[in-house]
């Protein structure tokens, strides 16, 4: 049997180990929190503009980017519902279900960063205005009280401007300052990856040139 002195040393060792583990966990959590808060200090990528506002746990997002791609390629990417998981990292799975009068896209996504990383699911009821707008609204209600928004395409010369809008009330979010930063980071990542896919497909198609103004060739 161990002596009482040996037992005391063993207990002290375990206590010290637990304390060290607690300190280590606290340091990891602190650095993770600093990393999340640091998102605010990282400037948005030059191609993406993003603004997030929060009031009473309702988050409003306005974001946009431009890309030198054809409107048809931009539209193809935005409506590639079944393949979005291949070019947007946060989307774990995406599947569309079409009927005669509706289009629903079920998506499973992982958003945020540790320790505020969450898995979320939505069933998006899609309304398309061909070539220009995709409106969506969650009808599942599993992770959001409401989640609705849109993608808008506008051709401008040799580029396409893509505008993204979102209004959401998530059931589980960190306090507002961190929530805004997590959502802003997720939206920037989303738009950057969508833009990159547009550029990739445009390059694969051989690029495009904006159509010339037909009025310039008219005779007086």
Does residue 16 sit within a domain? no
pLDDT score, position 175: 56
Residues 6+ apart with CB under 8 A from 8: none
Higher pLDDT, 24 or 84: 84
Residue 165 is part of a domain; what is its CATH number?
3.30.530.20
Query: How many domains in the chain?
Result: 1
Residue 69's closest CA among 59, 77, 81, 61?
77
Return the minimum-mean-pLDDT range out of 33-47, 99-113, 123-137: 33-47
Range of the domain at 179: 43-204
In a domain, 196, yes or no: yes
Check pLDDT > 70 for residue 18: no
Q: Is residue 6 in a domain? A: no
Strand partners, 156: 159
128 falls within a domain: yes
- Report yes or no on 213 lying in a domain: no
- Identify whether 21 is part of a domain: no
Q: For 168-195, what is the mean pLDDT?
A: 84
pLDDT exceeds cutoff 70 at 174:
no
User: Is residue 144 situated within a structural domain?
Assistant: yes
Contact 94, 103 (CB under 8 A): no
The DSSP line for the chain is ---HHHHHHHHHHHHHHHHHHHHHHHHHHHHHHHHHHGGGGSPPPTTEEEEEEEETTEEEEEEEEEESS-HHHHHHHHT-TTTGGGT-TTEEEEEEEE-SS-EEEEEEEEES-TTS-EEEEEEEEEEEETTTEEEEEE-S-SSEEEEEEEEEEEEETTEEEEEEEEEEEESS---HHHHHHHHHHHHHHHHHHHHHHHHHHHHHTT---PPP-GGGG---
Of 145, 186, 182, 191, the C-alpha closest to 167 is 145
Q: What is residue 112's predicted lDDT score, i.e. its pLDDT?
A: 61
Q: Is the pLDDT of residue 153 over 60?
A: yes
| Residue 205 pLDDT level (bands cut at 50, 70, 90) | confident
pLDDT band for position 165 (cuts 50, 70, 90):
very high
Percent share of the chain, pLDDT over 90: 55
Q: Can you give the pLDDT at residue 114?
A: 54
Q: Output phi, psi for 175, to 5 deg.
A: -60, 155
The whole-number pLDDT of residue 116 equals 57
Higher per-residue pLDDT: 173 or 76 = 76
Q: Evaluate whether residue 211 is within a structural domain.
A: no
Beta-carbon contacts of residue 163 (< 8 Å; ≥ 6 apart) = 62, 63, 64, 150, 151, 152, 154
Q: In this predicted structure, what is the pLDDT of residue 171?
A: 84
Phi, psi (5° rounding) for residue 113? -130, 155
Higher per-residue confidence, 187 vs 172 = 187
Model confidence pTM above 0.75: no
pLDDT in tens, 52-108: 999 888 999 999 999 999 999 999 999 999 999 999 999 999 999 999 899 999 999
Least confident range from 48-62, 132-146, 166-180, 204-218: namely 204-218
Q: At what angle do helices 4-37 and 176-204 cross, to 10 degrees?
A: 60
- Give the pLDDT score at 46: 58
């Amino acid at each position: 049997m161990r002596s009482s002195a040996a037992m005391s040393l063993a207990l002290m060792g375990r206590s010290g180990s637990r304390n060290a583990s607690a300190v280590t966990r606290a340091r990891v959590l602190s650095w993770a929190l600093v990393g999340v808060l640091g998102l605010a200090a990282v400037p948005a990528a030059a191609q993406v503009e993003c603004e997030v506002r929060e009031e009473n746990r309702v988050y409003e997002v306005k974001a946009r980017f431009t890309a030198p791609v054809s409107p048809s390629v931009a539209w193809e990417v935005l409506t590639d519902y079944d393949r979005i998981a291949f070019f947007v990292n946060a989307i774990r799975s995406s599947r569309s279900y079409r009927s005669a009068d509706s289009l629903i896209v079920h998506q499973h996504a992982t958003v945020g960063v540790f320790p505020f990383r969450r898995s979320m699911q939505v069933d998006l009821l899609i309304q398309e205005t061909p070539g220009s707008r995709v409106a969506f609204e969650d009808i599942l209600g599993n992770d959001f009280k409401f989640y609705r928004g849109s993608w808008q395409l506008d051709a401008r010369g040799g580029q396409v401007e893509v505008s993204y809008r979102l209004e959401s009330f998530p059931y589980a979010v960190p306090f507002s300052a961190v929530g805004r930063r997590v959502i802003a980071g997720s939206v920037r990542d989303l738009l950057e990856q969508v833009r990159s896919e547009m550029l990739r497909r445009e390059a694969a198609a051989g690029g495009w040139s904006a159509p010339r103004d037909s009025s310039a060739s008219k005779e007086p």
